[in-house]
């Protein structure tokens, strides 16, 4: 496994987006980038209030981001509407290296993008050879 691989996944849609085939709900786009020894997870969350609608947690070795994009205008509209913007609850989770603690995780929100930095995520991330006794 490459030292650049931070998260492992079998099926990216099932693992990160939830069950395939759901036509309603909001699934924020995400990217994971390496910044030195740190990893940065960015999620596109335009129109979301990060203070009241988003939580970031470290839960049993997983970074879990959940929240909701609310449609404040839905009750005000009367008549026909064409919508391509999705609303609803979301949950994204990412497997972290075993050595990551909650002290290494910080989050910020700017211009509709949630950035979660995992400090030293790539430190000690190399495979180690195990000798076989005969």
Q: Which pLDDT does position 78 carry in this prediction?
A: 62
Residue 1 pLDDT > 50 = no
pLDDT of residue 126: 72
Task: Give pLDDT, residue 59.
Answer: 92
- Give the sheet arrangement for strand 38-44, strand by strand: 30-35, 38-44, 113-118, 105-110
21-35 per-position pLDDT tens digit: 444 567 899 999 999
Q: For the residues 47-75, what does the mean pLDDT come to?
A: 87
Q: Classify the phi-psi angles of 73: left when phi > 0, otherwise alpha if psi is within -120 to 50, otherwise beta.
A: alpha
Q: Which CATH class is domain 31-70+84-124?
A: mainly beta
Averaged pLDDT for residues 57-75: 84
Per-residue pLDDT tens digits for 70-120? 876 655 556 666 666 777 889 999 999 888 999 999 999 999 999 999 999
| Residue 5: CA count within 13 A, CB half-sphere | 6
% of the chain exceeding 90 in pLDDT: 48
- Nearest 10 degrees: CA dihedral of 95, 100, 102, 105? -80
Percent of residues, the chain, with pLDDT higher than 70: 71
Q: What is the mean pLDDT of residues 44-58?
A: 93
The token pair that represents 126 in the structure block = 């190399």
Mean pLDDT of the chain: 79
């Amino acid at each position: 496994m490459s030292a650049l691989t931070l998260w492992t996944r079998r099926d990216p849609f099932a693992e990160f987006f939830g069950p395939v085939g759901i036509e309603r709900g909001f699934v924020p786009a995400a990217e994971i980038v390496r910044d030195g020894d740190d990893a940065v997870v960015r999620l596109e969350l335009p129109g979301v209030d990060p203070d009241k609608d988003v939580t970031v947690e470290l839960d049993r070795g997983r970074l879990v981001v959940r929240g909701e994009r609310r449609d404040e205008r839905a009750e005000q509209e009367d008549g026909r509407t064409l919508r391509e913007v999705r609303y609803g609850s979301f949950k994204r989770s990412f497997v972290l290296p075993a050595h990551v603690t909650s002290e290494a995780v910080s989050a910020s929100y700017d211009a509709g993008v949630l950035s979660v930095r995992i400090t030293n995520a790539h430190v000690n991330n190399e495979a180690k050879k195990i000798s076989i006794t005969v």
